[in-house]
Amino acid sequence: MKILGKLLVGFLAVATLCAVVGLSGVSNLRDLRGSLVTITDETIPSLHRLESLEKELLVVKVALRNLANPFVYEDEELAESQFANIERAREVYRPLLQELDSKAMVPEEAALWEGVNDRLAITVSYTDRVIKSARAILGADDPETRAAMLREQYAFVFGEGRLVLDEFIASVDELLEYDQDLYGRRMAADSVAATSTATLALLGLTVAAFVVAVALGVVLGRSISGSLRKVVLTLDRMAAGDLSQKLEIRSRDEFMQVRESVGTVQETVEAIIAETGRIADHIVSGRLTERADPTRFKGKYNELVCGVNETVEAMVGFIEAIPMPVMAIDKDFRVIFMNKAGAALGGATGEQLVSARRQCSELFRTGDCKTEDCACAKAMQINGQAQSQTEARPGAHRLDIDYIGVPIHDRQGAVVGALEIVIDQTAVKAAQRTMEKVSAYQGAEIERVTRNLGKIAAGDLGCDFELAEADEDTAQVRERFATIRDALRASVDAIHSLVTDADTLAQAAVDGRLQTRADAARHRGDYRKIIEGVNRTLDLVIAPVNETIEILKRMAEGDLTSEMTGDFNGDFDVLKSAINETLASINELLGQVTLAVEQVAAGSQQVSQASQALSQGATEQASSLEEITSSITEIAAQTKRNTDSAVEMNGLAMSARDGAERGNSQMSELVSAMSDINSSAEEIRKIVKAIDDISFQINLLALNANVEAARAGKYGKGFAVVAEEVRNLAVRSAGSVQETTKMVDDAIANIARGNGLVDVTAKQLQEIVGGSAKVAGLSEEVSTAGKEQSQGLDQISTGLTQIDQVTQANTASAEESASAAEELSSQAQQLKAMLSRFKLRAREARLTDEDVMRMLQSEMGRRGLSSRSGITLRRDAAPAPAPTQAVAKKPAIAARAARAPINPADVIALDDDDFGKF
């Protein structure tokens, strides 16, 4: 069965089940609708009629009661309205009764309805009677009859007929209640039960339909998806390259066709693979002429195989296009491929060579053929690339070749042949030989040129202008070297003429002929520049030289005012500025010299004056020195006497010290004696104390005895007298003791005082000893000092003698320096006259005397002399007359002043103010 059939059967079964379920539901709904119609159309109106009936009956009941009331009859209209009410009620409920009567009823209901009908008849007759009597009452004119009738009416209504209507209403009520119960409860319950039954049936059918549908779906789905899975599996494998898996489907539906199609595809693909594999085997093993057969395949497969062929063609085309012979051989050295270049050598096409199965050695006939040197044989043997060089003789050709052998492997990696690539080196070798020859020629000629250039560089212009002979290969090179030789010759000539001119100029310059010039027009280019430069140099040299000569001439004449004014460059400018600076320096120097000479002239005058003053001072100094010497002699005699006195005093002081020391030792003895006395006094005091104690005891005893004696009455009287006497003795001895004690105490006090005095005396004696020792020492020092003093005085005396000599010398020097200063002054004048010959530039030439003095001042200040030292420079300082006066007043001070350590050369004059200090 086909898949479509299976699906149709399944869906039909499910549709049928759905129809059954739907029909069942519809029938149930119809039943439900029937019962609903019954309720709305019959039951509810019937109940409604019963209720209306009951209501109308109540109206009738009220009207009847009213008719029993006598007051109603008072108003006839009211009574009539009662009749009208009853009539209208009757008209209303009469059709109700008919409808109810026509209604189908269950037996119990019918029985109740029977009861209602019975009551209806009774009620109608009762009502008619009441109405009838009421009408009669209304018609009765006689009040008595009317009253009687009224009473009868009342009695009837409230007596006999009182319950008629009530019972009727009760029966209707009963029926109503029954109906309500019947329709409201039982019928509702019935319809609920029917509905649930229908629902259950519907549910069951639905479930059954669902189960059947699911079962059908599962069965159908499994059968289809199983087949699909197999197909997918097979296609996946095919996609992964596995064609061996066949599709195994046994069902007889559309999957049968799928299986057959897949099988066809697999077979086709396998065939293609087999064909391409075969071609690949051939190509790999070097049989590049083999091709696949595309006619066996159709459509895209045909294109695929054609594409493989085209790929191989393209590749082989590249090899064919290589302009050198490429050849493939099998293991027996038979040619299996030869490209166009190779075939052309053999004089045949590649196909002809391959189909002829010729051996390569027959074609190329190289030196290596059938030897171990054959690169192809080596390549096959070592399974790697090999290279060799040899000579080949294919056909009529003779070639130098490099060739490379590369092993060819089949697809299993086994060596099945070799590929040979031949490179024709014949032309390269010929070119190489020509190049070597040219190179040798060039080498020789370049060496010659180099040698010539070296000579030129070294200044030797005797060059070798030969050229070697050439053959056909070197002719071209020789031409080039000829050009070089000619150029070289021209250069040498130019240099030669330049050298000649330069030499001429140099020789002229050496000889001092600066007017000589070379002809620059004979030279060209830079050489001309050189000659022109030399000429210009000479021009430039001459100008400054001439000016310098002029300046120096003027200097020789004593004119120092001129200077070089020309505009020069470089070293000439330096020369110019040097000469100008020299002139300026000489100007400056001579100016300063003039100044110095003037200073010297002024200074020498000062020196002359000062020297005269010095000489005078030295003479005075000498006379003062004599006085000092005599004073010193007197002092020396006095000192001698002092020294003698000091020695004497020293002896006295020594003896005083000895006496004092003796007194001191005796004093010590005295102190110890006093101490002994003191201890004895203590002893005496103790004894006295003992005596005093004893006398006290005696006194005590005497007193007791006295007391006892008194107590003994008159017999004790005598005893009392004795006791009294004893007591008196005791008192006396006590008094004596007291005196003794006092005396001892006095003695002790005296001793203590004596002790103190002794101590003081001892101390004083000690001081005397020390003092006299000091006196002795001092007097010794005095005598020593006196001796030293006299020695010192001797030295002073000697010194004075020396000073005297120096002073004498000073006087002589001062006189000499005075005469020297005179001479200096006259020489300075001479120098000034000499300098005046020079004509100097105006600025430094004139100098006032004030300037000269100021300069001298500053010069002295620089040498560390100042006015504070009492020496100042005064232009108009006359030889000072003051020192003479000063010496006259106080010779000693003058002598001291003369001794002051002043270099006479520095002393120009003494300031007037300084004399006040003396």
Partner 1 sequence: MTEAVRRDARDDLFIDDAEDEDTQANKYMFFRIAGESYGIGIRHILEIIELQRISQVPDMPAYVKGVINLRGKVIPVVDLRLRFGLPERAYDDRTCIVVADISGATIGFIVDTVEEVIEIPEAQVEEAPRFRSQSGKDRYISGMGKVGEDVKILLDVEALVRDDDARAIAEAGREP
Q: How many residues does the chain have?
A: 918
Are the beta carbons of 597 and 835 closer than 8 angstroms?
Answer: yes
Among 249, 720, 782, 910, binds partner 1 (CB under 8 A): 720
- Closest separation in Å from C-beta 735 to partner 1: 14
**Which of 91/725 has CB closer to partner 1?**
725
Nearest approach, Cβ of 662 to partner 1 (angstroms)? 50
Binding span for partner 1 by CB under 8 A among 31-39, 69-77, 378-386, 725-733? 725-733
784 touches partner 1 (CB under 8 A): no
Closer Cβ to partner 1, 429 or 711, answer by number: 711
Near partner 1 in 728-747, by CB under 8 A: 728, 731
From 30, 714, 889, 917, residue interacting with partner 1 (rule: CB under 8 A): 714
Q: Nearest distance from residue 684's CB to partner 1, in Å?
A: 19
**Helix H segments across 140-254?**
143-155, 164-181, 187-239
CA–CA gap between residue 383 and residue 386 (Å, rounded) = 9
Report the site for partner 1 in 58-97 (rule: CB under 8 A): none
x/- contact string, 8-37, with partner 1 (CB under 8 A)? ------------------------------
Of the two residues 601 and 720, which places its CB atom closer to partner 1 in the complex?
Answer: 720
Query: CB of residue 719 vs partner 1: minimum separation in angstroms?
Result: 10
Residue with Cβ nearer partner 1 (292 or 705): 705
Task: Mention every residue, 6+ apart, whose C-beta is less than 8 A from residue 369.
Answer: 360, 361
Provide the minimum distance between the beta carbon of 737 and partner 1 in the complex, in angstroms, as a whole number: 13
Q: Where does this chain touch partner 1 (CB under 8 A) — which range of 248-256, 434-442, 546-554, 716-724? A: 716-724
Q: Is 716 in the site for partner 1 (CB under 8 A)?
A: yes
- The SS3 call for residue 760 is helix
For residue 675, the minimal CB distance to partner 1 (Å) is 29
User: Which one, 273 or 710, has the nearer CB to partner 1?
Assistant: 710
CB nearer to partner 1: give 718 or 770: 718
Nearer to partner 1, 711 or 863 (CB): 711
Residue 103 in 3-state DSSP? coil
- Cα–Cα distance between 356 and 336 in angstroms, integer? 10
In the bound state with partner 1, the residue whose beta carbon lies nearer, of 193 and 721, is 721
Smallest gap from Cβ 726 to partner 1, in A, equals 12
CA distance 229 to 221: 12
Give the full edge-to-edge strand order of the sheet including 386-392: 335-338, 326-330, 415-424, 399-409, 386-392
Q: How far is the CB of 738 from partner 1 (least distance, A)?
A: 13
**Site residues for partner 1, window 691-710 (CB under 8 A)?**
693, 696, 699-700, 703-704, 706-707, 709-710
CB closer to partner 1, 713 vs 901: 713
First to last CA, the chain: 171
Write down the residue that tokens 């005596």 correspond to.
691
Q: How far is the CB of 774 from partner 1 (least distance, A)?
A: 57
Closest by CA to 604, choosing from 808, 832, 838, is: 832
Q: Which is nearer to partner 1, 731 or 775 (CB)?
A: 731
| φ, ψ of residue 814 in degrees (nearest 5) | -60, -40
Which of the residues 485 through 504 are near partner 1 (CB under 8 A)? none
Of 155 and 700, nearer to partner 1 (C-beta) is: 700
Residue 409, SS3 per DSSP: strand
Among residues 720 and 737, whose Cβ is nearest to partner 1?
Answer: 720
Measured from the CB atom, the residue of 618 and 720 that comes closer to partner 1 is 720
Nearest by Cα to 873 from 854, 847, 848? 854
What does the DSSP assignment read for 648-682?
A: HHHHHHHHHHHHHHHHHHHHHHHHHHHHHHHHHHH
Cβ burial, residue 138 (10 Å; 0-12/13-18/19+): middle
Count of residues engaged in binding partner 1, rule: CB under 8 A = 24
Identify whether the C-beta of residue 769 lies closer than 8 Å to the C-beta of residue 660. yes
Of 185-193, 461-469, 722-730, 881-889: span binding partner 1 (CB under 8 A) = 722-730
Any contact of residue 711 with partner 1 (CB under 8 A)? yes
Q: How far is the C-alpha of 852 from the C-alpha of 729, rounded, in Å?
A: 131
Please say which residue, 439 or 704, places its beta carbon nearer to partner 1: 704
Residue 727 in contact with partner 1, rule: CB under 8 A: yes
Asked if 718 interacts with partner 1 (CB under 8 A), we say yes
What span, in angstroms and rounded, lies between the C-alpha atoms of 583 and 548? 12
What x-and-dash track marks residues 378-417 binding partner 1 by CB under 8 A? ----------------------------------------
Closest residue by Cα to residue 522 from 509, 506, 538, 535: 535
Backbone phi, psi, residue 705, to 5°: -65, -40
In whole angstroms, what is the distance from residue 137 CA to residue 144 CA? 11
- The amino acid at residue 354 is V
As measured in angstroms, the least distance from the Cβ of 698 to partner 1 is 12
What is the distance between the alpha carbons of residues 48 and 865, in angstroms, rounded to a whole number? 169
Q: Considering the rule CB under 8 A, would residue 725 count as an interface residue with partner 1? A: yes
* Chain centroid offset of residue 442 CA: 67
Q: CA-CA distances (angstroms) from residue 319 to 55, 360, 591?
A: 129, 18, 109
Q: Could you tell me which residues come within 8 angstroms of residue 747 by beta carbon, excluding any fewer than 6 positions away?
A: 677, 681
Shortest distance in whole angstroms from residue 766 CB to partner 1: 45
Residues with Cβ within 8 Å of 26's Cβ and at least 6 positions away in sequence, in order, are: none
Q: Kindly state the tokens that stand for 577.
A: 């500025």
- Is residue 690 involved in binding partner 1 (CB under 8 A)? no
Closer Cβ to partner 1, 71 or 715, answer by number: 715
Smallest separation (angstroms) from partner 1 to the CB of 696: 7
Q: Which is nearer to partner 1, 695 or 789 (CB)?
A: 695
Query: What does the alpha-carbon distance between residue 167 and residue 859 come to, in Å, rounded to a whole number?
Result: 182
- Between CA 381 and CA 389, with CA 385 as vertex, the angle to 5 degrees is 95
Q: Closer to partner 1 at the Cβ: 44 or 700? A: 700
Residue 724 as a binder of partner 1 (CB under 8 A): the answer is: yes
Burial class for 154, CB neighbours closer than 10 Å (0-12, 13-18, 19+): middle
Tell me the two tokens of residue 826: 């006259």
Contact 245, 237 (CB under 8 A): yes
Residue 433 binds to partner 1 (criterion: CB under 8 A) = no
Distance between CA atoms of 319 and 131, rounded to whole angstroms?
A: 147
- Minimum distance from residue 678 beta carbon to partner 1 (Å): 25
User: CB under 8 A: which stretch of 149-157, 184-192, 286-294, 726-734 binds partner 1?
Assistant: 726-734
Query: How near is the Cβ of 706 to partner 1 at its closest, in Å?
Result: 4
Question: Which of helix, strand or coil describes residue 397?
Answer: coil
| Minimum gap (Å) between residue 700 Cβ and partner 1 | 6
Task: Confirm or reject binding of residue 754 to partner 1 (CB under 8 A).
Answer: no
Please report how close the Cβ of residue 769 comes to partner 1 at its closest, in angstroms.
50
Residue number, 636 or 698, with CB nearest to partner 1: 698
Task: Output the smallest distance, CB 730 to partner 1, in A.
Answer: 10
Burial per residue of 765-799, b for 16 or more beta-carbon CB atoms within 10 angstroms, e otherwise: beebbeebbebbeebbebbeebbebbeebeebeee
Stretch that binds partner 1, among 64-72, 205-213, 713-721, 839-847 (CB under 8 A): 713-721
Query: Using CB under 8 A as the criterion, which residues of the chain lie in contact with partner 1 when the complex forms?
Result: 693, 696, 699-700, 703-704, 706-707, 709-714, 716-718, 720-721, 724-725, 727-728, 731
